[in-house]
Structure formats: structure tokens, C-alpha cells
Amino acid sequence: MTSLRELLRVGPAVDLKDIDPGTTPGLPGRKVTGKDPKAWAREQLASIGGEVAVHQEMLYAGAKASGDRRRVLLVLQAMDCGGKDGTVKKVAGSMNPLGLHVVAFGPPTAEELKHGFLWRIRRALPEPGVVGVFNRSHYEDVLVARVDSLVPERTWRSRYWQINGFERELTDAGFTLIKVMLHISYDEQRERLMERLTDPTKRWKYNPADVDARGRWTDYQAAYNDALSRCSTDHAPWYVVPADRKWYRDWAVANLVLEAFKEMRLSYPEPVFDFDAERRRLEADRAPAMAS
């Protein structure tokens, strides 16, 4: 199978108009799997999740037992209803919470606004050995900040190179970045907003402001095109995942994570103590005499 990273990675001239949110790149068809694609993707997600969990444990073990500084950061961006929360649940859900650090970014607080836009991001970074997941990220500062004119144009324009420098710093420090844009269509967003409105268990997620943002769809797509084009670098590429089909989205993101992990060539750390001496000590071990 061609790697999903190769298939979904975007270059320096992305136009989201050219990527159909309803497609399923890389997903083998019914002729190959003998199964309904959705059922197959869901089954695969479970086994990929198991593999990811093993790599995650090796990453954690390496940091704990031998001071390995490496870590992984999955960055999720999307329009509202794009499926960021669902992806966290399905993809990060297979991992051990002990080695997982999930952070969702909302509008900056008064305290955060006193600092540069990367300040709160740096504070939220995962420790060595940990997998970080960002539900929204520093990219909001070239998306909503640009579309809603929260800062002057020269300010957001200067952020693309600041982001590239920052991400370079991260990868130099042992981070593997997996930046994923979940790409949904205008029609699918309407369906999902309507579902949030009508389903009492989803109504809490409905935010009237999302409909205002939807009114600026074209501006957002343009802002995404620039962010993806300018910040898809060799050390930290962007992947665009067609996300109208949730089962494809989860399968694709899980694969991107697994492929990144495999490239890290992790293994369980070797003991730093005298293995034979320790074994002899435990073999000679006797239960303490019971106090009478």
C-alpha cells in the first residue's frame, strides 16, 4: 500500500478546491478487502490503534528509562464540525492516558493576550516520551485572527515565518510533528450543524458563532490555503484528510500517526542495571518472617 503520508501530504501551492472532501485516498476497495469499505476501515482502525499503543509505550519507556527526548505532536485543524473532537476520541483513544497530553485551544485569555501568540503553545507542549494532541493550535492565529481581523495584516503575515521557525526548533529538539487538516465540505458542515441543533445529546456543541464563521467560508478557505502552503515544510509537512466520511477520516489519521511512529524506529530500552545480578537477587528472595 502507498503510504498515506505520501498521498495526503500537501506542497507549497495548496488549493483546497482541488481536494474533494468526500473521497477516500489510499483506502483499498471492496474488490481487495472483500468487505464493505466502512466496515473494513472501522476494523482496521481497531488494529492500527493496538499498534499505535505499542509504539506509544516504547516512546514513554525510552524517556523514563533512558532519557530519550523524543516526543510526538499531532496538530488537528478544521472548520467547525470538521471532526477534531471525534478524531481525538477515536485516534488518541487507543493510547495510554499516562503518556498522552491533549489540549484544546479556545480564544486566548486576558493573560495569554499579554504574550506573543506562541506563548500558550509552548506551555502546552508535551514532555519527552509523551504524545501531545492539539485540538486547534497556533494556526488559529493565521486563520480566525486573519479572517476576523483580530490583529493588523502585517501582524498575521509575519506569523507564517514565525511558525516555521518555531516548528523547526521543535523538530530539532526531538519532536515529530503530524499536522492534519480535516477537510469537510460546505454541505457536510450544514448537515452536522443541523444535527447538533436537533439532537439533544449534541446540542451542547452548537454555537451560533459557528454559523457566523460559516458565512465567511470563502475567506477561511483562502486563509487555510495560505497557512497550508506556507507552512508545509520538509521538517513539518501538512496533511489534508478528506473528512466528510468519518470512518475514512479516523482510519487515515490513525495511519498517519502509525507511519510517523514507525519512522521513529522506537524500541524498548535496554536495562541500565546489572540484569543477572538483579535476577539472582529476586531468585534468592524469601518472604519476611511473620510477626507473631
CB 253 within 8 A of CB 180: yes
Site string for ligand AMP, 145-184 (x = CB under 6 A): x----x----------------------------------
Which residue is nearest to Mg ion, using beta carbons? Answer: 207
Q: Is 105 a binder of ligand AMP (CB under 6 A)?
A: yes
C-beta of 57 vs 85, nearer to Mg ion: 85
Under rule CB under 5 A, which residues in 152-211 are in contact with Mg ion? 207
Of 196, 2, 176, which is closest to residue 80 (Cα–Cα)?
196
208 binds, among Mg ion, ligand AMP, none (CB under 5 to 8 A by kind): none
What gap in Å lies between CA 57 and CA 55, rounded to an integer? 5
Q: Is 107 a binder of ligand AMP (CB under 6 A)?
A: yes
CB 268 within 8 A of CB 58: yes
What gap in Å lies between CA 114 and CA 33, rounded to an integer? 54
Site string for Mg ion, 201-240 (x = CB under 5 A): ------x---------------------------------
Q: Is 140 a binder of ligand AMP (CB under 6 A)?
A: yes
Beta partners for residue 172, in sequence order = none
250 binds, among Mg ion, ligand AMP, none (CB under 5 to 8 A by kind): none
C-beta of 34 vs 106, nearer to Mg ion: 106
Site size toward ligand AMP, by CB under 6 A: 10
Q: In what order do the strands lie in the sheet with 238-242?
A: 100-104, 131-135, 71-78, 175-183, 238-242
Enter the DSSP assignment of 243.
-
222 binds, among ligand AMP, Mg ion, none (CB under 5 to 8 A by kind): none
Give the β-pairing of 238-242 and 175-183: parallel
